[in-house]
Amino acid sequence: MNGSYGQVSRRLFVTGLFATAATAALPVGTGAARPRTQVLRAKPAKVSIGARTVSTWTYDGRLPGPRIEATAGGVVRARLVNDLPAATTVHWHGIRLDARMDGAPGYTQKPVPPGGTFDYAFTTPDPGTYFYHSHVGMQNDRGLYGTLIVTDPHEPLGYDQEFTVVLDDWLDGMIGTPDDALRRLNASTAHDDTLRSDLLGGVTAELRHPYYLVNGRAAEAPEVFESKPGRLVRLRIINAAADTAFRVALGGHRLGVTHTDGFPCAPLTVDTILIGMGERYDVLVRLGDGAFPLVAEAEGKGARAFAIVRTSRKAGAPRSGVRLSELSGRRLTYADLNARRADRLPRPSRSVTVTLGMRPSGNEWTMNDRLAADPMRLRVERGETIRIVLDNQSPMWHPMHLHGHTFQVRTSSGPQGPRKDTVNVLPRERLNIDVHADNPGEWMFHCHNLYHQEQGMMGTLGYGPAKRAMKH
């Protein structure tokens, strides 16, 4: 596309980790192929999680739902068929798409009633790692999510193989439904003080999920990624959980970070990555010879998601409880990440503050003191760039997600900062994000902790004067 892509891959090649990077890129979509329509049938199904079988809601009876692959600049066509007993939508998380296809109930479409269908069709302008999920109520904490991978017809990274790693926290069918869990939280004012993480500045989550999953699988019957020694592998890591940040590491390996939230960043090598709900990271790893634990610690919860990366049949399988020094090694921070030159945004012409707050009840979360029922609205004009100061005055961290745009995070130490669509804001932290208003519409801007979202932490970013809200 331009010089900075080339620069990214060159710099990867000169670091030790990537010293003998394979030159054969993966075959990518041809771009010429006619997009077929992917049917997404939202329906109740039984799924096996570890030793248990539970009833939940899925796409096509699968967990995660079907993988959707598109080419940058190409079109995704997906027909949602609603076989659930409740209305639903599909949201294409992170995609800079036509607002009418955003799947935001009450904003961009009416939820699709039971028995109904809806045809989504949109262009995917930017390559990268994305996912899709229901955007109605607590449905995303059931099984209603899947991966959306947008390949680059001119993929600049050379690698041999790729794996998608979808992280989730699971309670549906085990301790009631997510709606039951939300009701319990709404009935109490206390937070579980034992869910603590220094990394996330104190109490870190609303509740314990009984299971933490990689690609729908529990540690007791883990996902196994098969490869060969010496291969350079791209891991696409997606946090689809409702209430869990994960600290990810691969035993015996370092992680060469290449992208966050779909966008390339100047590559660097770390031991572990903290990934909030809604965030994605792509990393390159040159695999050793053996069977290696891929661990995602449920931060502050004393539990983990676990999978195995295996390049040798002779190696014994690692145990899920294995200690990993990588988990306490060099951890990626936003200050480490920089967008490539072509992705840097213009200087903002003005700044607005969004205060993240908690009502004294302890179970209502606000943006500029307002709740979702009467949401805060940031007004922008097309073409301008604004700075949003995310001022977290609440005692919990929030992974804030903006629909339809990718903003640039401006950390105090990093001069450039990464392009992202979801950013973790720690308690008492002020974090600046710059947004270029280039995609007209009425867009959700909310906390991707699903419980916080349903307890009010949902605002909007809209172009021009406010229009009358859509009727549900």
Say how far apart CA 254 and CA 235 lie, in whole Å.
Answer: 12
Neighbours of 101 (CB within 10 A): 22
Q: How far apart are CA 335 and CA 406, in angstroms?
A: 17
Q: How many residues bind to Cu ion according to rule CB under 5 A?
A: 4
> What is the spatial distance between Cα 149 and Cα 147, in angstroms, rounded to a whole number?
6
Give the alpha-carbon dihedral of 197, 199, 201, 202, to 10 degrees.
Answer: 10
Report the residue from 74, 84, 93, 108 that binds ligand C2O according to the rule CB under 6 A. Answer: 93
Cis preceding-peptide flag for 85 (omega within 30 of 0): no
In terms of CB distance, is 96 or 446 closer to Cu ion?
Answer: 446
Secondary structure letter of residue 61 according to DSSP: T
| Segment lying near ligand C2O (by CB under 6 A), choices 19-27, 205-213, 382-390, 442-450 | 442-450
Token pair for 185 = 């939280």
CB of 10 to ligand C2O, least distance (A): 34
Least distance (Å) between residue 447 CB and Cu ion: 3
Is residue 133 a contact residue for ligand C2O (CB under 6 A)?
Answer: yes
Q: Going by C-beta distance under 8 Å and a sequence separation of 6 or more, which residues neighbour residue 180?
A: none
Residue 383: burial class (beta carbons within 10 Å; 0-12, 13-18, 19+): exposed
Laid out side by side, the sheet with 422-425 consists of 377-380, 458-463, 442-447, 398-402, 422-425
For the segment 384-403, give every residue that binds Cu ion (CB under 5 A). 398
Residue 145 bridge partners (DSSP): 133
Token pair listed for 277: 């709900």
Q: Least CB distance from residue 278 to ligand C2O, whole Å?
A: 5
For tokens 């929030």, what's the residue? 398
Binding mask 296-325 for Cu ion (x = CB under 5 A): ------------------------------
C-alpha to C-alpha distance for 21 and 40, rounded to whole angstroms: 37
- Name which of residues 249 to 288 contact ligand C2O (CB under 6 A): 278
φ, ψ for residue 436, nearest 5 deg: -95, 120
Among residues 257, 444, 457, 461, the one that binds ligand C2O under rule CB under 6 A: 444
Residues numbered 430 to 469 that lie near Cu ion (CB under 5 A) are: 447, 449, 452
Q: Which of 9, 18, 68, 91 binds ligand C2O (CB under 6 A)?
A: 91
Nearest residue (beta carbon) to ligand C2O? 93
Pairing of strands 37-49, 75-82: parallel
Cβ 425 to Cu ion shortest distance, Å = 9
The answer to the question of residue 234 lying near ligand C2O (CB under 6 A) is: no
Is the Cβ of residue 160 or residue 243 nearer to ligand C2O in the bound state? 243
Q: Which residue's CB is nearer to Cu ion, number 225 or number 445?
A: 445
Least CB distance to Cu ion at residue 84 (A): 26
* Contact predicate 422/399, CB 8 Å: yes
Residue from 41, 49, 126, 135 in contact with ligand C2O (CB under 6 A): 135
User: At closest approach, how far in Å is the CB of 456 from ligand C2O?
Assistant: 14
Report the nearest approach of Cu ion to the CB of residue 63 (Å): 25
Q: Which SS3 state, helix, strand or coil, does residue 180 take?
A: helix
Does 191 participate in binding Cu ion (rule CB under 5 A)?
no
The smaller minimum CB distance to ligand C2O, of residues 9 and 134, is found at 134
Within 389-418, the residues that bind ligand C2O by CB under 6 A are: 401, 403
Question: In the complex, what is the shortest distance from the CB of residue 442 to ligand C2O, in angstroms, rounded to a whole number?
Answer: 13
**CA atoms 125, 127, 128, 132: torsion sign:** positive
Please list every residue from 16 through 35 that binds ligand C2O, using CB under 6 A.
none
Residue 449 near which of Cu ion, ligand C2O, none (CB within 5-8 Å, type-dependent): Cu ion
Query: Residue 213 CB, nearest distance to ligand C2O (Å)?
Result: 17
402 — phi, psi (to 5°)? -110, 130
Supply the minimum distance, in Å, between the C-beta of residue 33 and ligand C2O: 28
For ligand C2O, which is the closer residue by CB, 91 or 286? 91
- HEC letters along 72-99: CCCEEEEEEEECCCCCECCEEECCCCCH
CA triple 272-445-425, angle to 5 deg: 35
Residue 410 touches which member of Cu ion, ligand C2O, none, C-beta under 5-8 Å by kind: none
From the list Cu ion, ligand C2O, none, pick the one residue 446 interacts with, judged by a Cβ distance below 5 to 8 Å according to partner type: ligand C2O
Restricting to residues 293-352, name those near ligand C2O by CB under 6 A.
none
* Distance separating alpha carbons of residues 292 and 444, to the nearest angstrom: 39
Q: Three-class SS of residue 421?
A: coil
* Chain positions contacting ligand C2O, by CB under 6 A: 91, 93, 133, 135, 278, 401, 403, 444, 446, 448
* Chain positions contacting Cu ion, by CB under 5 A: 398, 447, 449, 452
